[in-house]
Structure 1
Amino acid sequence: MNAPLRRVGVVVMILFGLLFANLNWIQAYKADEYRNSDYNGRVQVAEYDRKRGNIEVGGTAYALSKETGGKLKFQRSYPDGEVYAHVLGYKPVNLGDIGIEQVENDFLAGTSDQLIGDRVKDMFTGNKTGGGNVLLTLSKGAQATAFKELQNNRVGATRGAAIAIDPRSGAVQALVSMPSFDPNPLVSHDTEAAQTAYNKLNRDPDRPLANRALSETLPPGSTFKIVMAAAALESGIGPQTEIPAGSSYTPPTSGSPIKNAAATICPGPTGTPVTLKDAVTFSCNTGFAQLGVKLGADKVKEKARQFGFEQDDLTVGQLNEGGLPVAASRTGDMQNPDGGTDPAALAQSSIGQNNVRMTPLQGALIAASVANGGSQMRPYLVKQLLAPDRTTSYYTAKPRELRRPVSGQVAADLQDMMVSVVKKGTGENAAIKGYTVGGKTGTAQSGPDTPDHGWFIGFALDKNGTPISAVCVELERAGKGGSAEAARIAGRIMEAAIAGSGGR
């Protein structure tokens, strides 16, 4: 055989070898990926051949499947669309799924290992048993109220979030992000129409698909003063201990003075004393800025960490695994370029500005920890997993403590201060007749030429001092009156949570 033919033969053998190797690679290593791909039409048909389980709140299905009579036998439906969108998410044909639909997909689809008994039974009966049902912790009233009040807020804010939790268990009572979206067009079996609907939402500058309650981090403003007050109490400063305040304070190394929101708050020259309780009640910026410099960056950052800041792996779903991802809240840098503490940055951080960033969930957890005697329970959304025929429970939530950021005594002192905020301070709009309500407002700068964010974190206790609800409301770029409106909305959400719990 001459040389050119030998070369051609070698090339052909190499090509056959590569083809053989690729075939084995596909069969051995890529089979599962291709078989389960959203673009595999056979898989899609098989997936829609079985009725998907419900996602329910208070006995009502807010995500369910209906028969179509078409090639894809069932179509997902969301009866209350926008109200539950950021919790439920959606399960589309070709797009990526999100929310509880995603994190509980195997159980809802009936492919979970927990439901293998039903699938074995189907082999003998020829039936197609539907997927399992997911029951959520949400309160119908609290969720509806949170959605309505955010949408109809009185300061014209177009973006924001609200989340409420039961301080004793961590069960999420309400979770709403504004603006919301209708998930129904996204699950259309007309995949081109679904893609068009998704593209429109994805291009919206207000980002309606974003779950702001869990994923948005913004400067928390004066709500961070509860963390600061906790650090002060643990350093030996009592509620009635006087700290330096005054109408203006210029930190060392900075020519920019820190002032209070109004001239009537902590008036007088720099250093004029005010009690820690009054500094919280009337939201004294100058007092907390000086307090932060006195305590030092390490204490401030450590106390924030103990409340849950810097946690990167928190999720909200089941208590023992997975769930909706939560962005980490951060205290940020408080240092000079040489690594030493920058007093000006520390002072600003101590009033919830500079690089401090917080999610609404973190705000609710701070309030819940105070209300629950210093114990912070792990937040969760999934209350129970029920079999397709609803006769067997495969999972029932058993609340557990996440951390203990403060002692019982410190929590009691913080409770008293936060109740004072609602009784005679900046949080009066959150009051609920017949219940003890505590809270803290926050106004945070959003930029040099944009309106301020408005925040409120708070809790409600019954006449026996038992905590019923803890909440955080954030109105993005709400401007003047934003924090007062956030307090009003928070009060209405907690009121609805109380009604839903039987008015304990």
Structure 2
Amino acid sequence: MNSTLKRVSVACLAMFALLMINVNFLQAVRAEELSADARNIRNFYERYSIERGRITAGGKVIAQSVETDSKQFRFIRQYPDARLYAHVTGFFSPESASAIEASENKLLDGSSADLLLRRSIDLFTGEPTKGANVEVTINPKAQKAAYDALRQSGKRGAVIAIEPKTGAILAMVSLPTYDPTELSGTDKGKVFSRYDELAKAKDQPLLNRTIGQTYPPGSTFKVVTMAAYLEDDSDRGPDTTVDAPQNLPLPGTNISLPNYGGAACGSGSVTLTYALERSCNTPFGKMGMELGYDKMNEQTEKFGMGTQIGVPMSVAQSDFGKEEDKAALAMASIGQRSNRMTPLQMAMIAAGIANNGTVMKPYLVNKITDSKGDTIDEADPDELTDAVSEETAGKLRQMMVSVVQNGTANLAQVPGVQVAGKTGTAETADGQPPHAWFISFAPADDPKIALAVIVESGAANVGAEATGGHTAAPIAKAVLEAVLTK
């Protein structure tokens, strides 16, 4: 071979090598970037060429693909009861997705490696590719009851319910809500314009308040302080007596921590049960200071705080707050100061007490099936933490039942069912009326459901610590009745 042919051969080989490198670079390195490029029209049409799988809850279809007459867009997404399940299903827009539509996208559109066998069979039989179906853990009766009851309050807020023994999420409601259908169309102009409107809205309808927002937990957090206090000394119990001054001097300051409205808590010395029933601030502030920051923070971590959780959507981080002085610790111990919790975290606390001290990892996806109904994957409940001993959980259960029967949460009572709970009123930093909280589980002797309710600025025009009991507890009652009674 002469030198000229050699040079031509080398040049050809170099060009083939460069071509192969470029192809692999585009397909592997830049694939995601190019697929997201709005100018990639072919990819845009292909997004609607596959029949995405259904999302179901309790046998009810809450998201599905329906065939159209359009030659460009073969399938579009449809959401029965769209507003009711919006923060569960999410939306499937021309260039993005949210909630389950996003977290389970590769299963829903059929591209997951878990569906390789199904795709191979379909290729052999000539059937079109279909996505997998996602069954969520939501109980439709609980979801509807939570949505209706919270909507009747006329306020922003959230309700989340968990099955204590498994961690399955039974209800996930955030208000205000939105219609995912408006964000799942094929007209980019209309979809993007509507998304901008919702994203800029002051009341944040796109925000899933159950997992995406933290709040001061107020007096609902007192069950955590009580848990730490009982764990610190196993001889303590519901009848243990503690100091309950009308005002608790805060070290290093010239102010005192009062009970709500400056009221007295008993005669100055009360049982732990009475302190929780009446939600007295001073004994809990004193407990927190006596225990110290490390023991209080450790107890919060045992309930799951500080652990990154996905349900599968990511959950905002709850936080007891950094270590400061004794005065700050007293305030954090009654659910104020830097103490910030998601409604999911507070539901997990209730569920952990209900489940004899064990907190289960919360989850929203129950089962994945292929287009023929064959199971691909199924939920396997998993323990997250051991929050308290079984003995301590029993003591807390007894006291929380008394809160509902004799204390601030009497409006949460369900005929024929023993309900455990704790009310809360949380001051806000923006000068708005306090938030109203309630956490609960029932039946107390064999819990089937644990939940947390928050009504933003829901304590207005009611007064007293019982505002959580007046505003949030009735919402919880509606959910409990939907799950536990026929």
The TM-score, its normalising length taken from structure 2, stands at 0.91
Change (3 A) 1:265 1:56: farther
Looking at structure 1, the residues matched to 331 and 148 of structure 2 have their Cα atoms a distance apart, in angstroms, of 34
Q: RMSD in angstroms over aligned alpha carbons?
A: 2.0
What is the alpha-carbon distance in structure 1 between the residues aligned to residue 171 and residue 223 of structure 2?
A: 23
Which residue is equivalent to 2:455?
A: 475
1:47-446 mapped onto 2 (5 Å cutoff): 47-70=47-70, 71-94=72-95, 96-153=96-153, 156-157=154-155, 159-236=156-233, 237-262=236-261, 264-267=263-266, 272-311=268-307, 313-316=308-311, 323-335=312-324, 342-390=325-373, 392-446=374-428
- Structure 2 CA distance for aligned equivalents of residues 289 and 27 of structure 1: 60
Over residues 297-344 of structure 1, what are the superposed CA-to-partner deviations in whole Å (9 max), with x where a residue is unaligned? Answer: 111111111111122x2011xxxxxx1101111011231xxxxxx111
Q: Which residue of 1 aligns with 2:11?
A: none
CA distance 1:24–1:44, shift in 2 (3 Å): closer
Cα displacement string for residues 122-180 of structure 1 (whole angstroms, at most 9, x for unaligned residues): 33333213111101111111001111111111xx42x2111001111111100011111
**Distance change (3 Å), C-alpha of 1:448 and 1:38:** closer
Whichever residue aligns with residue 475 of structure 2, its letter is: I
- Residues 87-124 of structure 1 deviation map (CA, whole Å, 9 limit, x = unaligned): 11011113x21100111111110111121122223333
Q: Distance in 2 between matches of 1:294 and 1:133?
A: 53
Letter in 1 for 2:431: D
Take 2:475 and 2:159, find their aligned partners in 1: how far apart are those partners? 9
Is there any run of 5+ residues in structure 2 with no aligned partner, and where? 1-14
Cα pair distance change 1:38/1:133, threshold 3 Å: farther
What's the offset of the Cα at 1:473? Answer: 0.2
Unaligned 5+ segments in structure 1 are 1-15, 317-322, 336-341
After superposing on structure 2, the runs of 4+ consecutive aligned residues of structure 1 that deviate more than 6 Å are: 19-22
Structure 1 Cα separation of the partners of residues 315 and 133 of structure 2: 24
> Partner of 2:396: helix, strand, or coil?
helix
Question: Tell me, what secondary structure is at the counterpart of 2:149?
Answer: helix
Letter in 2 for 1:330: D
Is 1:491 aligned with 2:477?
yes
Question: 1:47 & 1:25 partners in 2: Cα distance?
Answer: 22
The CA distance in 2 between the partners of 1:355 and 1:170, in whole Å, is: 27
SS in 2 for 1:118: helix
Q: Aligned equivalents of 1:432 and 1:368: distance in 2?
A: 18
TM-score (norm 1): 0.88
- Residue 35 (structure 1) shift: 4.9
Q: Secondary structure at the match of 1:63?
A: strand
Q: CA deviation at 1:46?
A: 2.3
Equivalent-residue separation in structure 2 for 1:376 and 1:362 (angstroms): 10
SS of 2:192's partner is: helix
Q: Secondary structure at the match of 1:226?
A: helix
The question of whether the paired residues in 1 share the 8 Å contact of 2:304 and 2:384 is answered with no
1:488, 1:467 → 2: CA distance? 19
What do the CA deviations read for 1:431-468 (whole angstroms, capped 9, x no partner)? 11111101111111102622101111110116xx2111
Aligned-partner Cα distance in 2 for 1:170–1:76: 29
